[in-house]
């Protein structure tokens, strides 16, 4: 008899699919519209970047609420509502005629993306369905932006052909069509559907009632929110990911205009950004496998160091050094990608599943909240100095400070990890 595919892998696949689309049309692809919007309205880069920073602020403030809602109602409802709101926000954005309407529409779209993305909702769903394979499952579930990276250039082509307003409207409507069925795949935990984590199945006739109670009770083990926030580990995790996200958030908004200033075309710059996300797949899968077998503190510090080296290379690149751009994309992409599945993995390892959604939201909120600084910092420095170099150097110094912090985290005992 052929064994059916474990449903947890369908959740992983749905996460990949939806975040692939979100990456192309919003999280990374929206950079394509940065200069066309700026040129149409005549705003400064700092003012235009403000919308992206408000997105980070809103996402940071909402992440704990998203985590709470996921714990309370399950990921499927939260993801579905996020898809609907995100699609409506993008359609509204195509009609903006002033800075304040742009900010409002952008924030509505961002509100939806907070619930629909893999930052909290999908991470909770996947982490609940896997235990021994949790690291690699999370790494795979967060591959959507990797696969979407090469397709960011499509957003640039559509913008060139139809203009940014039509392109944004089409992508918003597409989100509603693509995202709705994918959101419906998500489920809260395997025990409710007759599974064990990682794919072991059971039936009531085969497993005694006390064991079924034990399986269900596993989701009530671990730290409460109050217990977790009183630990050093919680605040160290929050600081580490906040420090790394300042540079990531600034660069993700300004990489395309930075490369265009160096002489690259819009399509070429979008292709390089896509390459960064394509190569981030090495980090996402690699860190997922590595933390299943070696000390996560070593893994975390290694991937932060790769981002630092990549950023420093970016400050010396010019339009003729394609080989150096490729090395930057490899180092920064791998390092940036590697930290993404580490956040939910470390939270589950440190605190268990009891309040995982809320704690994931709190740490995510701290990281994204710090990311508010990045886009404005990069834009303000460019407006002041006509160069992004100082912003890059500042970001690398902050990231370097995060590396020794990782070794303040306590390594879970083997018995703890097997329980959670």
C-alpha 404, offset from chain centre: 23
* Domain assignment present for 207: no
Whether residue 2 is contained in a domain is answered as no
With beta carbons less than 8 A apart as the criterion, state whether 56 and 369 touch: yes
Q: What CATH number is associated with residue 403?
A: 1.20.1250.20
Residue 198 lies in a domain: no
Q: Return mean pLDDT, the chain.
A: 80
Q: What is the pTM of this model?
A: 0.67
pLDDT at 18 over 90: yes
More confident residue, 60 or 166: 166
- Whole-number pLDDT of residue 282: 87
pLDDT greater than 50 at residue 124: yes
pLDDT above 90: percentage of residues in the chain = 16
Mean pLDDT of the 226-246 span? 88
Q: Name which of 273, 288, 5 is nearest 141 in CA terms.
A: 288
Q: Within 10 A of 260 (CB to CB), how many other CB atoms are there?
A: 16
pLDDT tens figures, 172-221: 999 999 999 999 998 887 777 777 777 665 544 344 434 344 434 444 56
Residue 302 within a domain: yes
Higher-scoring residue by pLDDT: 269, 411? 269
Residue 3 lies in a domain: no
Domain assignment present for 72: yes
Q: Which of 13-22, 48-57, 179-188 has the least mean pLDDT?
A: 48-57
Please check whether residue 362 lies inside any domain of the structure. yes
Given a cut of 70, whether residue 412 has pLDDT beyond it is no
Find the domain containing 334 and state its range.
Answer: 8-187+213-419
Lowest mean pLDDT among 86-90, 119-123, 365-369: 365-369
CA distance 14 to 185: 7
As to burial, measured by CB atoms within 10 angstroms (0-12 exposed, 13-18 middle, 19+ buried), residue 129 is: buried
What CA–CA distances, in Å, run from 258 to 51, 78, 164, 189, 267?
18, 35, 19, 43, 13
200 dihedral zone (left: phi>0; alpha: psi -120 to 50; beta): beta
How many whole angstroms separate alpha carbon 14 and alpha carbon 75? 12
Output the pLDDT for position 69.
Answer: 84
Evaluate whether residue 399 is within a structural domain.
yes
pLDDT at 41 over 80: yes
CA distances from 311 to 139, 232, 305 (A): 23, 29, 10
Per the document, the length of the chain is 420
**359 or 214, higher pLDDT:** 359
Residue 295 reports pLDDT greater than 70? yes
pLDDT tens, residue by residue, 347-356: 888 888 777 7
Domain count, the chain: 1
How far apart (Å, rounded) are the C-alpha atoms in residues 97 and 409? 49
Q: How confident is the model over 311-326, as a mean pLDDT?
A: 79
**How confident is the model at residue 55, as a pLDDT?**
63
195 bridge partner residues: 201
- H helix intervals, 24-133: 34-41, 45-73, 75-93, 99-116, 121-129
Each residue of 323-339: pLDDT tens digit? 788 898 899 989 988 88
Least confident of 192-206, 221-235, 394-408: 192-206
């Amino acid at each position: 008899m052929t064994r059916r595919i474990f449903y947890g892998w369908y959740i992983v696949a749905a996460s990949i699919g939806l975040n692939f689309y979100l990456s192309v049309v919003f999280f990374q692809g929206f950079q394509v519209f940065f200069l066309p919007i700026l040129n149409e309205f005549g705003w400064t880069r700092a003012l235009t970047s403000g919308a992206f920073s408000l997105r980070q602020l809103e996402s940071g403030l909402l992440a704990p609420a998203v985590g709470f809602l996921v714990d309370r109602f399950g990921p499927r409802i939260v993801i579905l509502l996020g898809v609907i709101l995100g699609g409506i926000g993008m359609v509204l954005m195509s009609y903006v005629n002033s800075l304040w309407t742009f900010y409002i529409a952008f924030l509505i779209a961002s509100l939806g993306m907070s619930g629909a993305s893999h930052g909290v909702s999908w991470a909770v769903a996947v982490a609940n369905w896997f235990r021994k394979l949790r690291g690699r499952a999370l790494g795979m579930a967060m591959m959507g932006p990797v696969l979407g990276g090469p397709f960011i250039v499509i957003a640039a082509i559509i913008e060139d052909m139809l203009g940014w307003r039509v392109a944004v409207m089409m992508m918003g409507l597409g989100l509603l069509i693509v995202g709705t069925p994918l959101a419906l795949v998500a489920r809260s935990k395997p025990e409710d559907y007759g599974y064990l984590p990682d794919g072991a199945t059971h039936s009531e006739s085969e497993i005694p009632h006390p064991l079924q109670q034990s399986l269900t009770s596993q989701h009530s083990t671990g730290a409460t929110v109050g217990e977790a926030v009183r630990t050093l580990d919680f605040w160290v995790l929050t600081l580490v990911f906040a420090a790394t996200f300042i540079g990531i958030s600034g660069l993700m908004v300004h990489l395309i205009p930075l490369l265009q200033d160096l002489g690259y075309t819009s399509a070429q710059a979008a292709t390089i950004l896509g390459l960064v996300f394509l190569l981030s797949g090495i980090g996402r899968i690699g860190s997922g496998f590595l933390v299943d077998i070696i000390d996560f503190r070593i893994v975390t510090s290694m991937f932060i160091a790769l981002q630092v080296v990549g950023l420093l290379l970016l400050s010396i690149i010019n339009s003729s050094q394609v080989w150096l751009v490729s090395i930057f994309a490899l180092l920064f992409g791998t390092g940036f990608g590697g930290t993404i599945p580490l956040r939910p993995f470390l939270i589950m390892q440190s605190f268990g599943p009891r309040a995982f959604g809320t704690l994931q939201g709190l740490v995510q909120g701290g990281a994204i909240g710090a990311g508010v600084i990045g886009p404005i910092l990069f834009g303000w420095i460019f407006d002041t100095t006509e160069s992004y170099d100082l912003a890059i150097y500042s970001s690398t110094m902050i990231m370097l400070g995060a590396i020794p912090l990782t070794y303040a985290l306590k390594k879970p005992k083997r018995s703890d990890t097997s329980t959670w």
